[in-house]
Amino acid sequence: MARSGGKHLGLPIGLVLRIAVWVIATLWLGTVACWHGVRLVRRLPVLLSGTLRCPRGHAVAAFGAWSCGVCRYTFEGYAFARCPSCHGLASYVICQTCGLGIRDPHV
């Protein structure tokens, strides 16, 4: 009689694997959901005030017409929203007063 170690684990290995995958997937989805929630909460002050601040403190409208730096598509909305055409994200916008760049404050 040959002894097989796999038959003495108590639980079928397939079930253990399925539980492990489920736990990992649930943790991952929960982490992603929390991360999106945190990002949204951190954006709230900008979303509510509607302005960004350049390094010199000038107020720059966070909402308006923006030209995508990648595909040149012009769209209206939040300055750091995804481009509706190519889904690219702006890494910065230019202050209209002093010309300094303003990076997305929440990245």
Compute the distance between CA of residue 70 and CA of residue 88 in angstroms, rounded to an integer. 7
Site string for Zn ion, 79-98 (x = CB under 5 A): ----x-xx-x------x-xx
What is the footprint of Zn ion within residues 2-61 (CB under 5 A)? Answer: 54, 56, 58
Closer residue to Zn ion, CB minimum distance, 40 or 70: 70
Tell me the sheet residues that pair with 60.
52
Using CB under 5 A as the binding criterion, the count of chain residues that bind Zn ion stands at 14
Q: Burial code of 16-48, b = ≥16 C-beta within 10 A, e = fewer?
A: eeeeeeeeeeeeeeeeeeeeeeeeeeebeebee
70 binds Zn ion (CB under 5 A): yes
Minimum CB separation of residue 64 from Zn ion in Å reads 15
CB 94 within 8 A of CB 79: no
73 binds Zn ion (CB under 5 A): yes
Query: Residue holding tokens 């929630």?
Result: 37
Residues forming the site for Zn ion (CB under 5 A): 54, 56, 58, 68, 70-71, 73, 83, 85-86, 88, 95, 97-98
